[in-house]
Amino acid sequence: MEGGGRPSAAQAALLAASSALTALLYSVYRHKARVARGLEGARRVRLDGDLRAVLLEAPGRCVPYAVIEGVVRSVKETLSSQFVENCKGVIQRLTLQEHKMVWNRTTHLWNDYEKIIHQRTNTTLFDLVPPEDGSGVTVRVMKPLDAAELSLETVYEKFHPSVQSFTDVIGHYISGERPKGIQETEQMLKVGTALTGVGELVLDNATIKLQPPKQGMPYYLSAMDFESLLHKQESNARFWKILTVVFGFTTCAILFFILRKQYRHHQERRHLKQMQDEFRQAQERLMREMNVEGGEPLKNACVVCLSNTKSCVFLECGHVCSCNECYQALPEPKRCPICRQAISRVVPLYNS
């Protein structure tokens, strides 16, 4: 603690940082909890012949947040894999990723480094249809790349190692970068994949569309079933809640430590003032008694015994308040009776 009982700059900064981090974690937790509650309250509809009637009865022919499960089917043409025969899909993502080792001058270690140097995503219109395609009801999926939890299946993956000459190796050690190679990956959302869609379900003329919701809730296209998706979001919210509680307790502990220090400092100052008042009252009482008895008041009296003359200079505080006998009687560690500062050495005082 600094002078006057105020917290130090480090303590104040620590309290401010901990409070800000707790507030940030709480904000993230509230968002995750709102997402989980919204997902739990989403209306589950079946992809069957009654779906069109459900939307006709809904206000504005729209269900703001609905859950629907179906199987992927392309509308017109499908996308073919560039590397795997007879592999058809509706979303295709080709990625080239560079792998290399980078020298860290701080830790003096080689660290793995990955960087996407090229990525291309191709899409085509697709619908969700019932697993048993007999009802003729389809749901057109809009803006699938905006959806969270969109899991694409890796259908091809190959690593092309770098070919290096001896001169290249020396140059790489000098530059601090050692290329390892290029990884080529192809991911696809294949035709026939079972998907769980969560979003706004709307009847637009004769087409039923699943699109991102307008209330700010997440848009999902997941290969998991709805129960697994809900459990994942609830677990995510629970994790952020635990982090918020932990850092909240840390903030409370720091605040309690600072307040306890301030309280102890206040108690010490109060006790010192009380002792000074008692010394002053005792000295005044002694002088009054000496005046009543006709005696001469003792000048420069010791503040402890009020009978002997002050004969000690306390260092480093510089107070002259005690006789040698009372100084010897002070308990260890010896402290000045006036300011309670530790006495490092004593200088005798000689009165002429």
CA nearest neighbour of 139 among 222, 227, 207? 207
Alpha-carbon distance of 312 to 329, in angstroms, equals 13
Alpha-carbon distance of 347 to 145, in angstroms, equals 85
Tokens 């079933």 locate to 225
pTM value? 0.68
Which is more confident, 168 or 219? 219
For 60, 124, 223, the CA distances from 219, given in Å and listed in that order, are 20, 19, 13
Alpha-carbon distance of 108 to 148, in angstroms, equals 39
| Model pLDDT, residue 299 | 62
For 34, 57, 143, the CA distances from 215, given in Å and listed in that order, are 12, 21, 16
For 162, 284, 287, 337, 341, the CA distances from 319, given in Å and listed in that order, are 79, 20, 22, 9, 10
Q: What is the pLDDT of residues 16-48, one digit of tens each?
A: 999 999 999 999 999 999 999 999 999 999 988
Q: What is the pLDDT of residues 107-128, one digit of tens each?
A: 888 899 999 999 999 999 999 9
Stated as kind and residue range, the H or E segment containing 188 is strand 177-190
CA nearest neighbour of 18 among 243, 260, 262? 243
Stated as kind and residue range, the H or E segment containing 327 is helix 324-329
Q: Per-residue pLDDT for 295 more than 50?
A: no
Q: Per-residue pLDDT for 247 more than 70?
A: yes
pLDDT band at 228 (very low <50, low <70, confident <90, very high): very high
